[in-house]
Chain A
């Protein structure tokens, strides 16, 4: 079985996920479950034994109970966050992909634009949220724009690396059969760039999630980020941690989706 590219490039920590499921023996499954029980159960016992107040750190059982009872109240906010994340991601990733595909065809223009893209990648787009709120108010717009700004450059810089991966022999092969520039793009350059595009999309989506939650914390009365600030100001820490749990599950879901896409479409790359 060839190593998955997305899994391989995202770092060792996440990579362990790729060993989960595939080829895991019964003993390993048992060990994983036992560890989880010990960690979560141990945390529960320690917090209860020392009678740590819930507003400092609630025990896992209280978090689960709060999630269970308050989930109907949190669910709409999950929806708002997903709307922000998905629309911002779609806009940012779309523009980033197209720009990467076009700009890599013109190395001269690429050199001139590269520093600006780098600035966009390295600047936390969260910093612009107060300004965006000033411009667009407390609705969806500033959040979606912030997510798009966080996602786009990340997708662009990684996809551009993919599109720049030119194998002259493969292009010569296509040309020897009389392929047009467009055919070369779709049948050679794009598939060759796909592994890096997927890496860009995944990192972009995770940055998008960070930015969406951050933007919701800064302004407006809805979204999971807003719930975090609301619950902490109300000192309802079990609910607060419930929202944190939902956010980490969202992050893992993003990883798993791209991991599965990568496994299906880029397993040819060893």
Chain B
């Protein structure tokens, strides 16, 4: 029961191409993301990870190809899709609660206070509702931004290297938190990261992208049970997978350098 419960495809990327002038950030990139699964996208810098994620968010349209959410094309931001940014991206002039209510203000919707309370409790931010971002640690800010993204109960959560700026210990805590949240909500999560360890801990599948032009090189299944314990993460299977993914990424870099010479 590692791959999604409901099965089926939640997000389908079809021949996605994104050009900036002559530069192909993505070229004919295709990918299916199952409902209720966690999929990580890894790859060297400049492989189009973020471009792909932003295409899924509807914020940055593709040059050609499409992204389907439950079968309908995403051509603008959709309420079912939550987005967590690289930096926590809280609005510094609002306290934590006002930041979490920001989406509801924009949408002129009544917030579900009980759900927000539950989420705050879940990420241990109860009692910090009145704190301003500059009074919170980096980890707390990012937890706040996760609450903001989940407050609208999205069916897809897009996370763009959310923990890249955090220290290693905080990062591990955050990974466990994401796992717990997923176990509770079964929200489909697309997770961009530079860390193979993080990708393997969180994901049902790890997608390796190649740069210039960005396209899918390999998709690895990560068939371990959850919650993923230290023993599982230290097992030979995980070690082997890590090495395969590393070989993919470094192989590309060596090939890229050879091609450049």
**A positions within 8 Å CB-CB of B:** 2, 169-170, 172-179, 183, 187-188, 191-192, 194, 265-266, 268-270
Contacts and interface: CB of A to CB of B under 8 A. Distances in A.
B16 interface: no
Interface residues of B, number: 23
Contacts of A172: 59, 85
Nearest to B95: A268
B77 A173 contact: no
Secondary structure class of chain A's binding surface, majority of residues = helix
Which residue among A2, A174, A194, A270 has the maximum number of chain B CB atoms within 10 Å of its CB? A174
Contact of B91 (A179, A183, A188): A188
B117 interface: no
Contact of A176 (B59, B91, B133): B59
A173 B105 CA distance: 13
Interface string B79-99: 101010111010111000000
Contact of A187 (B81, B86, B106, B133): B106
Contacts, number: 55
A268 B58 CA distance: 31
Nearest to B58: A176
Secondary structure class of chain B's binding surface, majority of residues = loop
A191 B95 CA distance: 13
B89 A173 contact: yes
B134 A173 contact: no
Interface in B65-120: 76-77, 79, 81, 83, 85-87, 89, 91-93, 102-103, 105-107
A194 B93 contact: yes
Contacts of A177: 77, 79, 102-103, 106-107
Given A183-B106, A187-B102, A175 B77 contact: yes
A240 B184 CA distance: 77
Given A169-B85, A191-B93, A269-B92, A175 B59 contact: yes
Contacts of A176: 57-59, 77, 81, 83
A268 B93 contact: yes
7 contacts: A2-B134, A169-B87, A169-B89, A173-B83, A174-B102, A175-B77, A176-B59
A194 B92 CA distance: 12
Nearest to A267: B132
Given A174-B106, A177-B107, A268 B92 contact: yes
Interface in B7-36: none
